[in-house]
Amino acid sequence: MQLFEHNPIKIYNSLTGKKETFKSIETGYVGMYVCGPTVYSNVHLGNVRTFMSFDMVFRYLKHLGYKVRYVRNITDAGHLENDADAGEDKITKKARLEQIEPMEVVQRYTVDFHNILNTFNFLPPSIEPTATGHIIEQIELISTIIENGFGYEVNGSVYFDVHKFNETHEYGKLSKRKLEDLIHNTRELDGQSDKRNPQDFALWKRAEPQHIMRWPSPWSDGFPGWHLECTAMSTKYLGEQFDIHGGGMDLKFPHHECEIAQNEAAKGKSPVNYWMHANMLELNGQRMSKSTGNTINPDELLSGNNNFFSKAYAPSVIRFFIAQSSYRSVLDLTNDGLLASEKGFYRLMDAVNLLEKLTASKASSIDINAWKQSCYDAMNDDFNSPILIAHLFEAAKYINQIKEGKETISAEDLTTLKETINIFVFDVLGLENVVKNDSGTDKLTGAVNVLIKLRQEARANKDFALSDKIRDELAEAGILLKDGKDGTTYSVN
């Protein structure tokens, strides 16, 4: 029996606005699509947070025994500067500014994307398709939409007729927007657009003479619309209906809304059963923005070469920080928050490393199996990593108490504890067991060991006033002494 058979997951479905028990279309198999990056610049931390959330989802589904096909695309054409089909293609613009080929831009930033994700210990997706590699599929999809009466061609460009679609379908059901409200809040077309209505969106854009990235189609030499790409790639590899579609909250409208409309217009059915959206990452309480300078890229955070944070942080510390917040919550990246997460991360790693040194007893003083199930219950509740981490800290406390002789554990439970810790810390959360990089650690350890020896001598001489003074003054400095059967150890609080 696979773990998923007795670990039902509840997923918050953005489409219905509530948690629902997950049931895959085909028992034992999961199809998951996540919108990947537009590779025209370095990947930013907000993107990393989103992809990290779905990496954790992918890891947990695999752990439960599902066979997961995880598709995450690369947008290497067609993403205009303005989501309303205006402006220049982002990649083409970057190529023009740097006077290089568009595919050089794509290659450079795709490599950067993969390097960053590898640094943070991401699992690679099952398939990573590109928009330019699926032009034929997109042209076929447009033809079907036109044949079904929901697309129209004007001057070589093809648009999706949102008003016609809304007569028989519900445009806006994912983002909870009504077409009437969108019409009311949209300015009239200025006569420069080929669209029938401002709410219509591009399926294919005719390329201007200066536009470098272009492909032949029945309508013109041009390029596909951004929304169309994900519909073509997700359905090609996961089928006309699949289990999970993920992405950032900012993609809910219009991108994901348009994906639903395209699929229903072409295939006659809604494409996805569970829509999942990761929330924003803020920097010091404000939205990240290049224009205001309130932004930081992953390399700057990892190296410490920035004006926001007091030091560099290890990738697993950053990963741990992100996991301490629900993927659906806004997460504020601050120096104090990272420092606290670093302290917690190394405390957890200390406990993990201490596991191998524990001695089993005849019986356990706590219920390990109940604790183990609590870890599964946390992840089964919409992948609640903050609650999971709270349970892992409970285990860390228990491990330290066993070491100090205050609690006991049987050999069987010790094996269960080790296996469960490894599953959730390393396999599910994707953390790595790294040693704290602190050049002063050895010197600190040496100094504290001298004081521990002086304290032992004081106790041997029954000078308990001096012994207590050493302990108390170290505690005031944030260094806690722990007396156990194997001697005295210390931790930095």
pLDDT of residue 84: 54
pLDDT of residue 205: 94
Per residue, the 3-state secondary structure of 194-209, as one string, reads CCCCCCCEEEEEECCC
Strands (E), 431-478: none
What letter represents residue 160's amino acid? F
Give the chain's length.
493
* SS3 label, residue 416: helix
Sign of CA dihedral 482, 480, 375, 29: negative
Give dist(CA 121, CA 427) in Å, integer.
Answer: 11
pTM of the model: 0.87
Rounded mean pLDDT for each run of 10 residues along the chain, 493 residues in total: 96 98 98 96 92 98 98 90 69 88 94 96 98 97 98 97 97 94 67 83 92 93 95 97 97 96 96 97 87 84 90 96 98 96 97 95 97 98 98 98 96 98 98 74 68 82 84 85 72 66
Beta 487-492 vs 86-89: how paired, if at all? unpaired
pLDDT of residue 183: 83
Query: Phi first, then psi: what are they for 239, rounded to 5°?
Result: 95, 170
The percent of the chain in helix, strand and coil, each rounded to the nearest 5, is: 45, 20, 35
Nearest to 35 by CA among 247, 338, 302: 247
In our burial notation (b when 16+ CB lie closer than 10 A, e otherwise), range 85-124 reads beeebbbbbbbbeeeeebbebbebbbebbeebbeebbbee
DSSP letter, residue 84 = T
pLDDT of residue 453: 78
pLDDT of residue 343: 97
pLDDT of residue 209: 87
